[in-house]
Amino acid sequence: MFAARCVGVSLAVFVLLYVSLSLTVSWGWKLARRMFRRRSARGLADLLFILRILPFALSSVVTLAFTLPSFLLLEPRSTDEAIGTAPLALGLCCLSLLAAGITRAAMTQRRASQAMMKWLDGSMLMESQILESGEAVPIFRTGNNAPSLTVAGVCAPKVLVSEAAIATLSPPELRTALRHEVAHALHYDNLKKLVFRFSAFPAMADLERAWSEQTEMAADDAAVSSFPDALDLAAALIKVSRLGPAESSSELSMALLHSSTALRTRVQRLVRWEKRQTPQTPRGWWYALPLVVAGTIGMVMTYGSVLTQMHVVTEWLVR
């Protein structure tokens, strides 16, 4: 009974934190989004990713670092107390949430792998782009049953380019388009999408959409280093749009009521391209380091009292 109560209480705290933090982040983002308009696309995409996973990460940390130890250390093992209705219901909610997340992520990954295998059938390795980290991103030439230009693969991303795209795009256009795809691979954007699938939360849809837009713009920025490059990428976007989707990609579309604004915004942004004055590397993160260090030290010093407080909270939950 002690173990069941421990698990029930831990899961209940997790789900309460996860839901409240998710709602706070999604509402907070809606209110504060204007403050971040001047940030670079890459900086904003990274910030949005952190905000998106923050509720899950923070709830996990609090559960594992505080709730679980406080229960194990401070709850008397001898009592024959029942789990309680609230922890039981919330615990079951949490288990359902986690099971749904795991199933959704596994099924998504399976479908993506199947699609990639189908597209890679009969494909040919064109070249490998060596990244700054020393890793190589292979670029495959696929048949016309695959999307025109795609990055597939979660942990080992591959760039797929169809014969139709190769035939349609001029060499400079193809080069910038490939650089765009390699930027997605470099930042493991597919893995991030899978993480979103695992920790799905309805109220996060806006934030995910914003992340998706900023990621595309960040990849555009990474692919372009001059105005002619920007025009080549804009031309590639228009030409690939005219190519139409491959048969198999139609089921993989992301948004229900997708508007034409995403393509329009990207092309208009590219034709207005100018050399960015701000550095690409997000230096702002370093300012947060002292705060994180101070927070960690403070937490270590007050760990005992925090555990006691946490136990009071969980006791209230059980009653």
Which chain residues interact with other proteins by CB under 8 A?
108-109, 111-112, 115, 147-152, 154, 177, 180-181, 184, 189-191, 193-194, 196-197, 200-202, 204-209, 211-212, 215, 219, 227-228, 231, 234-238, 240-245, 249-260, 262-264, 267-268, 271
Q: Which secondary-structure segment (H or E) carries 311?
A: helix 303-318
CB of 293 to other proteins, least distance (A): 33
Our CB check for other proteins shows the closer of 74 and 109 to be 109
Minimum CB distance to other proteins, residue 133 (Å):
18
How near is the Cβ of 254 to other proteins at its closest, in Å?
4
The CA distance from 52 to 26, in Å, is: 8
Residues in CB range of 16: below 8 A, 6 or more apart:
90
CB of 205 vs other proteins, minimal distance in Å? 3
Alpha carbons 213 and 265: distance in angstroms, whole number: 10
Cα gap 66→71, rounded to integer Å: 8
Q: Give the residue with the Cβ less far from other proteins, 197 or 311.
A: 197
Query: Least Å distance between CB 143 and other proteins?
Result: 17
Amino acid residing at 285: W
60 or 265, CB closer to other proteins?
Answer: 265
Question: Closest Cα to residue 128, out of 169, 152, 167, 158?
Answer: 158
Residue 71 or 196 having the CB closest to other proteins: 196
Structure tokens at 273: 């391209």
Minimum Å gap between C-beta 189 and other proteins is 5
State which residue, 30 or 283, has the beta carbon closest to other proteins: 30
- Nearest to other proteins of 219, 310 (CB atom): 219
From the CB of 248, what's the least distance to other proteins, in Å? 11
Q: Tell me which DSSP letter residue 214 carries.
A: H
127, β-bridge pairs:
139
Spell out a b/e string for 219-246, using b for 16 or more CB atoms within 10 Å of the CB, else e. bbbbbbeeeebbbbbbbbbebbeebeeb
Measure Cα distances from 168 to 111, 146, 148, 219, 228 in Å.
Answer: 29, 15, 10, 21, 18
Q: Which is nearer to other proteins, 228 or 284 (CB)?
A: 228
